[in-house]
Amino acid sequence: MWSGRPAGWLGGVITIDGLVKRRGGKEILAGIGFEARPGRVTGFLGPNGAGKSSTLRILLGLDRAQAGTALVDGVPYPALPDPVRTVGAVLDGSGAHRSRTGRAHLRWVARSAGLPPARVEEVLTLVGLADAAGKRVGGYSLGMGRRLALATALLGDPSVLVLDEPLNGLDPEGIRFVRTFLRDRAQSGRTVLLSSHLMGELAETVDDVVVIDHGRIVAKGTLAEVTGAHRNLEDAFFALTSGSGR
């Protein structure tokens, strides 16, 4: 697709191919594949239990797939030379031990990537947690925990952001913040891959859409392509995943 890298190219192509995951005899992923490209927000949509989180966990090297590959710039995540600066991940919850303070949590992640402590203060301000940084994570609200997870992901100013249900547990202001923020990231040439089961919330944010149901990809393409003849993304989604029990 690219003939040589243009100036300012940050990299960050996510390529997923033929992923198969079985757990306890149950097939969770049945050979899924798609791509997320720089400069675009890719929405990974599907009902609860469709296999979204499993896919993202395999992409991040947290879970193992029985077959298939999930690569970032052609490299499996665990082999990335500098993971924190390449990919930022926001999974469920805060991803922090509850008896540590928010600042202490970010500090150890920063140390693992050799980032200066000043960067910790920057991301704390960026997500609006500067005032709560000295508090234990156990005392955080759901929304604050999510902001801490986002701050962790942004520490290395990575070229790829992977977010699992980023809007869960956020108040309207938080949702607005995350949406604008993700658009800005894509605008600056970075890759954003986010999963969600909330269609309405996403239509204005995503460029590309991948729809998964029962461990299979049922549609992928640009927002316009997937929406197709349907009234909106939500209608298209229910048409594509009808009979899945949602």
Partner 1 sequence: MRAVRAELSKLSTLPSVWLAALLAVVVPTGIALLNRGVAGPDRGYQELAFGVMGVIVLGVVAVSSEYLAESADSGGGRQLTTSLAAVPSRLRFLAAKALAVVLVAVPLAFTAAAATMGVVQARLDAGRLAGVVCYWTYTALLAFAITVLLRHGIVPLTVLLVNTSVVSVTFLLTKVTPLANYFPDMAGVRMFVGKVANDDVSISPLVGLLVMSAWVAGLLVLAGAVFARRDA
Partner 2 sequence: MIRAELSKLVSLPATWTTLAWTLAANVLLTFVIAVGDAPVAYSRAGFIVLGVLATCSEYTGGQIRTTLTAMPRRVRQLAAQHAALAVVTLPASLVVALSGPLITMVVAGTPVALWQVAETTAYLTLLTLVSAAVGVLLRHTLAGVGLLLGCLFVAAPFVHEYLPDDLVTLVVSTPVLLIVAALAYRRRDA
* Distance, CA of 192 to CA of 113 (rounded, Å): 21
How many whole angstroms separate alpha carbon 118 and alpha carbon 123? 9
Tokens of 170: 């956020």
Residue 152 interaction partner, one of partner 1, partner 2, none, beta carbon < 5-8 Å per kind? partner 2
The CB-of-148 to partner 1 minimum distance in angstroms stands at 11
Q: Where do the H-state alpha helices sit in the chain?
A: 52-59, 83-86, 102-112, 117-126, 142-154, 172-187, 223-227, 233-240
Residues 6+ apart with CB under 8 A from 84: 109, 112, 113, 115, 155, 156, 158
Separation in Å, CA 161 to CA 39, 48, 96, 101 = 11, 21, 18, 24
Q: What is the smallest separation between the CB atom of 43 and partner 2, expressed in angstroms? A: 21
Say if strands 208-213 and 41-45 run parallel, antiparallel, or are unpaired: parallel
Interface size with partner 1, residues (CB under 8 A): 8
Closest distance of CB 40 from partner 2, Å: 22
Note whether 23 binds partner 1 by CB under 8 A.
Answer: no
- Give the nearer residue to partner 1 in terms of CB position, either 71 or 142: 142
Distance between start and end Cα atoms, the chain:
37
Can you say whether the dihedral through the CA atoms of 1, 210, 176, 151 is positive or negative?
A: negative
Q: Which residues contact partner 2 by CB under 8 A?
A: 57, 60-64, 77-80, 83-84, 87, 89, 91-101, 104-105, 107-109, 111-113, 137, 152
49 touching partner 1, by CB under 8 A: no
Q: Which does 210 bind (CB under 5 to 8 A by kind): partner 1, partner 2, none?
A: none
Cβ nearer to partner 2, comparing 110 with 209: 110
The Cα–Cα gap between 36 and 158 comes to: 15
Q: Which does 89 bind (CB under 5 to 8 A by kind): partner 2, partner 1, none?
A: partner 2
DSSP assignment of 110-122: HHHTT--HHHHHH
Nearer of residues 57 and 220 to partner 2, judged by Cβ: 57
- Find out whether 205 and 214 touch, Cβ atoms under 8 Å: no
Site string for partner 1, 135-174 (x = CB under 8 A): ---x---x--x-----------------------------
Considering the complex, what minimum distance in angstroms separates the CB of residue 93 from partner 1? Answer: 2
Residue 95 touching partner 1 (CB under 8 A): yes
Q: Does 191 bind partner 1 (CB under 8 A)?
A: no
For partner 1, the closer CB: 10 or 104: 104
- Residue number with CB closer to partner 2 (146 or 220): 146
Best CA proximity match to 52, nearest among 182, 175, 198, 184: 198
**Site residues (vs partner 1, CB under 8 A):** 92-95, 98, 138, 142, 145
